[in-house]
Chains A and B, each alone.
Chain A
Amino acid sequence: MSFLIFFIITLFIAGIQTVIPFLVNRAIVFGVMIPEQHIEDDSIKKFKKHYSMIVGLLSIVILTSYIGWTFSNARQDNEVALAGAIIEFALIFISLSFYLYYHGKTKQLKQQNQWVEHLKPMKVTDLSVRKQDEMLPWYVYLLPILSTIGLLIYTVLNYDLLPDQIPTHWGPSGEADAFTVKTPFSSVQLSLFLLIMQLMFLGIHIATKNSGIKLSATALESSRNRQLTLRKSSSWFLYIVLLGATMLMSYFQLTTIHPEIGEGTVKILIPFSFLILVLVGTLIFAIKVGRSDKEIAQSVEAQIMDLDEDKYWKGGIFYFNKNDPSIFVEKRFGVGWTINFANPIGYLIVFLPIVLIILISVLA
Chain B
Amino acid sequence: MIIRIEGESDIPIYTQITNQIIEGIARGEIARGDSLPSVRAFAADLGVNMHTVNKSYHELEKKGIIKIVPKSGAIISPTEQMSEEKMQQIFTELKPVIAEALVSGMNKKDIRDMVSSILEELKER
Taking Cβ atoms with an 8 Å cutoff, the residues of A that contact B are 120-130, 210-215, 217, 220, 307, 309, 321, 323-326
8 Å CB interface, B32-58 against A: 36-37, 40-50
Q: Could you tell me the distance between the alpha carbons of A272 and B45 in the complex, rounded to whole angstroms?
A: 40
Q: Tell which of A120, A213, A321 touches B45, judged by Cβ atoms closer than 8 Å.
A: A213
* Contact of A122 (CB < 8 Å), options: B4, B42, B45: B4
Q: How far is the CB of B51 from chain A (nearest CB, A)?
A: 9
Q: Is the CB of B8 within 8 A of A121?
A: yes
- Taken together as a complex, chains A and B put the C-alpha atoms of A66 and B47 apart, in Å, by 46
Q: Are A130 and B1 in contact (CB under 8 A)?
A: no
B6 interface residue (CB < 8 Å to A): yes
Q: Is B45's CB under 8 angstroms from A129's CB?
A: yes
Contacts of B5 in A (CB 8 A): 122-124
Residues of the A chain whose Cβ atoms lie less than 8 Å from the Cβ of B105: none
Which residues of A have CB within 8 Å of B40?
210, 325
When distances are taken between beta carbons in the complex, the residues of chain B under 8 Å from A210 are 40-41, 44
Q: In this assembly, does B69 line the interface, its C-beta being within 8 Å of a C-beta of chain A?
A: no
Can you spell out 11 A-B residue pairs with CB atoms less than 8 angstroms apart? A122-B4, A123-B4, A125-B42, A125-B45, A125-B46, A127-B24, A128-B1, A210-B41, A210-B44, A211-B44, A325-B43
- CB-CB under 8 A from B43, the residues of chain A are 212, 325
Cα distance, A321 to B47, chains bound together (Å): 9
Whole-angstrom distance between the Cβ of B28 and the nearest chain A Cβ: 13
Q: Which residues of B contact A215 (CB under 8 A)?
A: 45
CA distance A121 to B8 in the complex (A): 7
A230 to B8, CA, bound (A): 30
Cα separation A130 to B34 with both chains bound (whole Å): 13
- Any chain A CB within 8 A of the CB of B2? yes
Q: How far is the CA of A283 from the CA of B79 in the complex (A)?
A: 52
**Do A326 and B30 touch across chains, with their CB atoms under 8 A apart?**
no
Q: State which of B4, B36, B42 has its C-beta within 8 Å of the C-beta of A124.
A: B4
- For chain B, residues 6 to 44, give those with C-beta under 8 angstroms from any C-beta of chain A: 6-8, 24, 30, 36-37, 40-44
Are the CB atoms of B37 and A127 closer together than 8 Å?
yes
**B94 interface hit (Cβ, 8 Å):** no
Residues on the A chain within 8 Å of B30, using CB: 127
- Chain A residues with Cβ below 8 Å from B24 are 127
Contact of B8 among A120, A211, A325 (CB under 8 A): A120
A309 to B6, CA, bound (A): 14
Smallest CB separation, A351 vs chain B (Å): 21
Residue of B1, B41, B44, B47 near A123 (CB, 8 A) is B47
In the complex, B3 has a CB within 8 A of chain A: yes
Q: Do A212 and B37 touch across chains, with their CB atoms under 8 A apart?
A: no
Q: Is the CB of B48 within 8 A of A122?
A: no
Cβ of A330 to closest chain B Cβ, rounded Å: 12
When A121-B7, A121-B8, A210-B41 are in contact, do A126 and B2 touch as well, CB less than 8 Å? yes
Q: Which residue of B lies closest to A213 (CB)?
A: B45
Closest to A307 in B: B7
Residues of B near A220 (CB, < 8 A) are: 2
Contact between chains at B44 and A326 (CB < 8 Å): yes
Q: How far is the CB of B46 from chain A (nearest CB, A)?
A: 5
Q: State in angstroms the CA–CA spacing of A210 and B45 once bound together.
A: 9
**Min CB gap A286→B, angstroms:** 24
Residues A121 and B6 in contact, CB atoms below 8 Å apart = yes
| Residues A122 and B6 in contact, CB atoms below 8 Å apart | yes
Residues of A close to B42: CB separation below 8 A: 125, 127
With A212-B43, A212-B46, A324-B48 given, name 14 new contacts (CB 8 A). Answer: A121-B8, A123-B46, A123-B47, A124-B4, A125-B2, A127-B30, A127-B42, A130-B45, A210-B40, A212-B45, A217-B4, A307-B47, A324-B44, A325-B43
The answer to whether B2 and A323 have CB atoms under 8 Å apart is no
B30's closest neighbor in chain A, by CB?
A: A127
